[in-house]
């Protein structure tokens, strides 16, 4: 689906991507803002939340912004993330994708947000601020 054109919105919070031990309790400090994602695997507990809410001493990468694909998206659709990631990869913009039941999100470093928005717009996607 290379011709897929999506509508995205830019979320306002500055986010952090955190790594905790696999057996860590769910962090109460992560529940706030317009985007939070918590994923547990056998190897780690990953948390995406507002940067300002992350306590000192937590292993994390701060300074991310989030683009939300307007949904809900049908589970049968293919190429959603690919249509975005390919455009951004051509511009050397690294992405951290997160999917939910309803839609997809793309996190990019805050310093690359304007470049990402411009590249996606030029590719025909619609960006809402």
**34 neighbors 81 (Cβ within 8 angstroms):** no
pLDDT (0 to 100) of residue 75 = 87
* Residue 62 near residue 16, CB atoms below 8 Å: yes
Quote the longest CA-to-CA distance of the chain: 44
Which residues, given as ranges, of the chain have pLDDT below 70? 1-2
The pLDDT score that the predictor gives to residue 1 is 42
The H-or-E segment that residue 38 falls in is strand 37-40
pLDDT of residue 111: 97
Using alpha carbons, list the distances in angstroms from residue 66 to 10, 24, 110.
Answer: 6, 25, 9
Identify the structural domains of the chain with CATH numbers, from first to last.
Answer: 7-128 (3.30.2130.10)
**C-alpha closest to that of 9 among 115, 105, 124:** 105
Whether the pTM exceeds 0.85: the reply is yes
> What pLDDT is attached to residue 72?
87
Per-residue pLDDT at 40: 98
């Amino acid at each position: 689906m290379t011709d897929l054109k999506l509508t995205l919105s830019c979320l306002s919070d500055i986010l952090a991507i955190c790594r905790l031990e696999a057996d860590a309790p769910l962090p109460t400090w992560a529940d706030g803002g317009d985007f939070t994602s918590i994923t547990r695997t056998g190897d780690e507990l990953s948390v995406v939340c507002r940067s300002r809410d992350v306590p000192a001493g937590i292993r994390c990468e701060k300074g991310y912004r989030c683009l939300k694909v307007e949904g809900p998206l049908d589970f049968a659709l293919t190429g959603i993330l690919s249509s975005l990631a390919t455009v951004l990869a051509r511009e050397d913009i690294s992405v951290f994708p997160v999917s939910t039941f309803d839609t997809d999100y793309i996190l990019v470093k805050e310093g690359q947000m304007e470049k990402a928005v411009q590249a996606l717009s030029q590719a025909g996607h619609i960006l809402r601020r």
